[in-house]
Amino acid sequence: MKTFEFDVAIGSSSTADYPVKTVKFGEGYEQRQPQSLAPILEKWSVSATGTKKHIDKIKAFLDEHAGYKAFLWRVTPDESYKKYKAKGYRRMPKGGGVWELQWEMEEVLA
């Protein structure tokens, strides 16, 4: 499994979903249980800015994994690597030879 080693924008943000199965019984009563082996799976909205050559390297990595193959990534150097996938991206020329690439990293279990 390959590792995503490119730097992403500092302003990147994440969301965490708690996959919970809920059964409602009426009168306000409900039963809840985790719906996944991992109770928290993160999604990160990330971007990278740089020369077209640099952006094309990141794009090639994402294209190689094609939205279904997982790869290893860690948000910061002090965190452990986790498995992620990227479903797609947006590539935009910013002018002056600068390009931006935006995509979402979605944590997966396999």
**Helix or strand or coil: residue 26?**
strand
- Nearest-angstrom CA–CA distance, 39 and 94: 39
For 42-99, the pLDDT digits (tens) are 899 999 999 999 999 999 999 999 999 999 999 888 999 999 999 999 999 999 999 9
Handedness of CA 23, 25, 26, 27 (dihedral sign): negative
The b/e string for 45-55 (b: 16+ C-beta within 10 A; e otherwise) is ebbbbbeeebb
Mean pLDDT score of the chain:
91
pTM equals 0.80
**Helix or strand or coil: residue 6?**
coil
